[in-house]
Amino acid sequence: MANVSRLNGFKPVGTITGAPYTGAAMRFYKAAGTTVTHDLFEGDLVTFSGTCDAAGVPGVSVATAGAAQAVIGAVVGVESDPNHLDRTSWIDGADAGYVLVCTDPNVIYEAQAGGAVPITSIGENVNMEKSAAGDRTAGTSGQHVLNTVASSLSTWQLKLVGYPQRSNNEINAVYNKVLVIINNHVFKGHTGTAGI
């Protein structure tokens, strides 16, 4: 059965310690912008923006794809405000707002791969890719795992640790879902470990 392409970014599903992901998150500020590139969607990987709000809440922006681009974590929620009570999963680029980010370096994320990721890639490092803008209607991220792997590059963003074991996830096939941890994590010194 062929895998269905259904981008939705990076979703926390567990931890490398064996403990469940409990929903813990840190609040961050998203500055106003003027284009869809300033949108933040649930499932987007983010990094420090280099600014904060007037109260000192640290700012984040969408993480840049590619080696040596450190990541803080994935957006797991969007704060609503009185003018946008219907807002549940994204922030319009024109507005400032707040997002909740899973920042734990031990968290395992499920994400879709851009192509077929073979079983021989387990333990190797990969990067994130954003091949499409987030979906403002569905509120889903356009980010996914790049299917190019490089075992020796410690600065690559993600490390493959497994595959979701479900009937609708065919391994070694295009658009298979994979399990990753953030390898190049801001809170781990902006570098990771080499793949096996």
**Contact between residue 17 and residue 68 where contact means Cβ atoms under 8 Å apart:** no
Q: What number is the average pLDDT over the span 118-146?
A: 86
Q: What is the pLDDT of residues 103-127, one digit of tens each?
A: 999 999 999 998 888 889 999 999 9
Distance CA 151, CA 35 (A): 36
Q: What is the pLDDT of residues 10-51, one digit of tens each?
A: 999 999 999 999 999 999 999 887 565 568 889 999 999 999
* pLDDT at 73 (0 to 100): 97
Statement: residue 192 has pLDDT above 90? no
Q: What number is the average pLDDT over the span 146-150?
A: 86
Distance CA 62, CA 9 (A): 12
* 49-53, 72-76, 89-93, 190-194: least confident range: 89-93
Tell me how many degrees the CA angle 130-133-137 measures, rounded to the nearest 5.
Answer: 135
Q: What number is the average pLDDT over the span 162-185?
A: 93
* pLDDT at 17 (0 to 100): 94
Domain spans, the chain: 11-188
* pLDDT at 88 (0 to 100): 61
Statement: residue 156 has pLDDT above 70? yes
61 residue type, one letter: S
